[in-house]
Amino acid sequence: MTDAFQNYSKSGEILAKTFAYIGTSVKPGVPLLEIAEKAEKFILKHSAKPAFPVNISINEVAAHYSPIINDDCEIPEKSIVKIDAGVSVNGFLTDAARTFIFDEKWQHMKDTVRKALDEALKAIKPNESVFRIGEIVQKCIEDEGFKPIVNLSGHSLARYSLHNGISIPNYNVSRKIRDSSHRFKIGKAYAIEPFATTGIGRVTDSSDETIFQQFREVKNDNLSSKINTIYQFIDANFHKLPFSWRWVYNAGFSIEDIEKANKRLHDDHIIHGYPVLVESTKSPVTQEEETVFIGKKQVFILTGKK
């Protein structure tokens, strides 16, 4: 196998082990910060890096909530918890998500989104249209009385790139607007991630941002010394992948300096933030995700149970 596959395979194995490691920690009353940092430290301990800050999305929150500095949120009773995490090995990224439920009434919706993912994974093969996945996901989820979230999708992966140009829909895209070039290609990796909800099946941006990404490089910019030091740290350590200000704080920078840097780097369009995504009718959401690698004769599920 290629070096790329070996790196992807190692990344997926570490991510699968990360979920196994933190799984028993996910329960009501546990701080979100404790879970996220436990997962991220586990990844670092295995000679890899988080591909992005661990997402812990509760109930109607679908994606993009990661604990902030000194976060005091805890997992609520009777909640739905989605944990979405990623691993980078030499820049080769894997991405997976699991749903945890603490009320049996959500078991059916959890099982449904997992079934949709499993059926989608069975359909993947070299040169298959990515739009076939949307057909399968929508049918599986709607047959059970739920809605897929249509404005969230799976995505292609590349080295140091989480969303590398190809979106993999969670609904049946009209054949009139399908792009025939959007196919699963040999030697490439893809994240497949259906979402199910009791709501209308769309997410909207909230006003909160907890995950950030470097948008552009700056040289000899008119930044203060402290802000420039933080910028240089981001530029040197995160490879333009999503990051959390927690990581900057844990490296020894003060909250005051981070707040100033966040405002200035935002204002100058050097970094941007990802809004926390909430189901439009505030309805609960479940999610499952795996990363696959397309081989010549086999599709490898990189992040499944080892």
* Cα distance between residue 67 and residue 4, in whole Å: 31
Name the token pair of 247: 């990581």
Q: What is the CA radius of gyration of the chain?
A: 19
Residue 180 structure tokens: 């025939």
Please count the other Cβ atoms lying within 10 Å of the Cβ belonging to residue 226.
Answer: 15
Residue with tokens 């927690």: 246
Phi then psi dihedrals of residue 31, to 5 deg: -65, 140
Alpha-helical (H) ranges within 214-254 are: 225-237, 245-250
What distance in Å separates the CA atoms of residue 306 and residue 304, rounded to the nearest whole number? 6
Catalytically active residues, by annotation: 84, 95, 155, 163, 193, 289
